[in-house]
Amino acid sequence: MRKRSNIGITVLIISVFTYIITQMVSDGNANMTYLSRDHTEKSIEHFNYPIIHDGWELIWRDEFDGDTVNPQKWNFEDWAAEKNNELQYYTPANVTQEDGYLKLISKKEKFKGRDYSSGAIHTKDLFSFLYGKAEMRAKLPTGQGIFPAFWMMPNKEQTWLPEIDIMEMVGHKPNEIWMVLHWLNDKGELQSKSNNYIGPDFSTDFHTYSVEWTPKQITWLIDGEIRYVEDRFIPNEPMYLYLNTAIGGNWPKAPDATTLFPQFYSVDYVRVYKYRGGGK
C-alpha cells in the first residue's frame, strides 16, 4: 500500500509540474518561455531558449500557439498591393494560425480584381521599438514569382523609409537570402545597401533570421551566424515589424507554369529583445 501511495504522489507531482509549465504563457512582455503539450519538438526548443541570452532580454514575442492570430499583436492587411507592380490582393482570410505556427497562404485565384491572393501582417501602432534584436524562425514558400519577406519600417504615417529588410527571398532562388537597408539621402533620393547569402534550400526546413540593431550598426544573422554588417545610415526612430508574401512584381517577376499553389510561409515564432549587457 505504501509503495502504491508513493507512486500516486509522484504522478500527482509530475502532473502539477506539467500543468504549471503549460500555463507559463506571456501576453506580450515575456517572463519566461513555456512548454506546450501539443508540439513536443517546438516546445522543447521554446523551453530551452533563455529570456536573457548573450545580454539580450526578451521584451516581446509571439509563439503562435492557439487557434487564432492575436489581434492585440498583429494588424491584418486587406488591400490590393500597389507597390512594385505586385500581383496579389492581401486578405486576412489568408492568414491562419494552427499546429503552433503562423501561416501566410498564397493562392492562385480570382480575388477582388487580382489573379492571386496572399497574406500580410504587421505591428504598426501595436508594437514598435528603437534598437534591439528582432528574430523570426520560419520555413519559406518557394517558386517563380513568390516573394516572402520579414522587415521593419518607421512607426508613423505616410512613410516606409528607412526600411530594414531582415530577410527577403525570391522564390525561384530558394537558397539565396537578401538582407537590405533602404533610406533617403539629403536630396530625397532612395538609397540602398544590401548583401546576399547563399545557403541551403530555405523552403524545405525552418531557419532563424534576425537583426541586431544598435546606434552604431545593424548586424544580420541567419541561423545565429553573422552574414552582413552595416555601420552607416542607421535608422534612429522606432520601427514596427512586417511579414508578408508578395506575388510577382519588378524583382521576382510573375509566377509561371512551374509555380505550385498554394504556397505557405510558416512561422514558428517572432521575438524581440533589448540589449541589457552593455557595450553595444
Mean pLDDT of 112-137: 98
Residue 280 confidence (pLDDT): 61
Please answer whether residues 258 and 108 qualify as being in contact, where contact means their C-beta atoms are separated by less than 8 angstroms: no
Q: Tell me the torsion sign for CA atoms 132, 214, 267, 243.
A: positive
- Does 187 reside within a domain? yes
What's 232's domain CATH number?
A: 2.60.120.200
Q: Tell me the torsion sign for CA atoms 265, 271, 277, 280.
A: positive
- Does 253 reside within a domain? yes
Q: Which of 197, 268, 250, 261 is nearest to 84 (CA)?
A: 250
Active-site residue flag, 168: yes
The whole-angstrom separation of Cα 202 and Cα 265 is 11
Residue 47 confidence (pLDDT): 42
Amino acid at 75: N
Mean pLDDT score of the chain, rounded to an integer? 86
Residue 186 clears pLDDT 90, i.e. is over it: no
Active-site residue flag, 230: no
**6 or 158: whose pLDDT is higher?**
158
Q: Which of 163, 189, 225, 237 is catalytic?
A: 163
Residue 95 confidence (pLDDT): 99
| Count of residues in the chain | 280
Q: pLDDT tens digit string along 258-279?
A: 999 999 999 999 999 998 876 5
Q: Is 242 helix (H, G, I), strand (E, B) or coil?
A: strand
Q: pLDDT tens digit string along 159-179?
A: 779 999 999 999 999 999 999
Phi, psi of 171 (to 5 degrees): -65, -20
Residue 73 confidence (pLDDT): 99
- Does 216 reside within a domain? yes
pLDDT above 90: percentage of residues in the chain: 72
- Does 14 reside within a domain? no
Q: pLDDT tens digit string along 13-69?
A: 444 444 333 333 333 333 333 333 333 344 334 444 556 667 899 999 999 999 999
Give how far the C-alpha of residue 141 lies from the chain's centroid of Cα atoms, to the nearest Å: 13
Tally of domains within the chain: 1
Number of Cβ within a 10 Å radius of residue 252:
24
The whole-angstrom separation of Cα 138 and Cα 150 is 10
- Does 18 reside within a domain? no
Residue 101 clears pLDDT 70, i.e. is over it: yes
Q: Which of 86, 168, 212, 230 is catalytic?
A: 168
Biggest distance spanned by C-alpha atoms of the chain? 85
- Does 153 reside within a domain? yes
**DSSP result, 18-50:** HHHHHT---SSS-S-----SS-HHHHHHHHHS-
- Does 33 reside within a domain? no
Residue 278 confidence (pLDDT): 60
- Does 144 reside within a domain? yes
* Domain assignment of residue 63, given as a range: 40-275
